[in-house]
Chain A
């Protein structure tokens, strides 16, 4: 199974500042035949289902604010929120969909400092 490890486990950032969450996979998520990374990012607010933010490691889902961006390739990935807003308080998860079983990172709790 592919193990997904996020860092940090929790993060406190001031409003308007940048937040960065890292995700490392135990094997490459880059599929050579199409040069795509099979990595997604989700936001889960309290009491809500997860929401897809980013797929193919860097493609923003429709309707997601452009302050959210994804980067990385192979085994190392990053989710960046360029200017933190109050509504961004949530738990963020990365997930690989390269193979079965699908696996998630353990989550990163983002709070306001």
Chain B
């Protein structure tokens, strides 16, 4: 059974940073393409970015609102996906999910809450 478990969320002031983690099990993580998706109260689901597997080039793509502020990475030796978030803004307040990227988003974690507020 595939399990994705996010962690690292919390309350942060505008301009601050957080690093989210997503621990994967039950899948061949190194072969998987992975997304970060967020759920915001006003906008619904919003794709944040994707990282391909290293064997497929390891390309990383970002949504325009986070490009230059967020960075996705992966540690295939630990089966962990990361989202480094810098320069956080109030509009980044959301539940952040990691998902697999294959014919849609088949597997989702339970999410981790990020609140950006002064």
Q: Which residues of A does B touch, CB under 8 Å? A: 40, 42, 44, 49-52, 55-56, 61, 91, 93, 95, 97, 100-107
Q: Which residues of the partner chain B approach A55 to less than 8 Å between Cβ atoms? A: 103-104, 106
Write the chain B residue with the least CB distance to A99: B61
Q: Among the listed A50, A103, A105, which residue makes an inter-chain contact with B108, where contact means beta carbons less than 8 Å apart?
A: A50
Write the chain B residue with the least CB distance to A49: B108
What would 29 A/B residue contacts be, using CB atoms closer than 8 Å? Answer: A40-B103, A40-B104, A42-B104, A44-B39, A49-B97, A49-B108, A49-B109, A49-B111, A50-B45, A50-B105, A52-B106, A55-B103, A55-B104, A56-B103, A91-B44, A93-B44, A93-B45, A95-B104, A97-B101, A97-B104, A100-B61, A101-B47, A101-B63, A102-B35, A102-B50, A104-B44, A106-B43, A106-B44, A107-B45
- Bound state CA distance, A73 and B37, in angstroms? 25
Q: Which residues of B does A touch, CB under 8 Å? A: 35, 37, 39, 43-47, 50, 61, 63-64, 97, 101, 103-106, 108-111
Q: Which residues of the partner chain A approach B50 to less than 8 Å between Cβ atoms? A: 100, 102
Write the chain A residue with the least CB distance to B104: A40
Let me know if B45 and A101 touch, CB within 8 A.
no
Q: Which residues of the partner chain A approach B35 to less than 8 Å between Cβ atoms? A: 102
Write the chain A residue with the least CB distance to B65: A101
Q: Which residues of the partner chain B approach A106 to less than 8 Å between Cβ atoms? A: 43-44
Q: Which residues of the partner chain A approach B63 to less than 8 Å between Cβ atoms? A: 101
Write the chain B residue with the least CB distance to A108: B44
Q: Which residues of the partner chain A approach B109 to less than 8 Å between Cβ atoms? A: 49
B36 to chain A, nearest CB (A): 11
Q: Which residues of the partner chain A approach B61 to less than 8 Å between Cβ atoms? A: 100-101
Q: Which residues of the partner chain B approach A61 to less than 8 Å between Cβ atoms? A: 106
Q: Among the listed A91, A104, A105, which residue makes an inter-chain contact with B47, where contact means beta carbons less than 8 Å apart?
A: A104
- Bound state CA distance, A61 and B104, in angstroms? 11
- Bound state CA distance, A107 and B110, in angstroms? 19
Given contacts A49-B109, A102-B35, A107-B45, 8 further A-B contacts (CB under 8 A): A40-B104, A42-B105, A44-B39, A44-B45, A100-B50, A101-B61, A104-B47, A106-B43
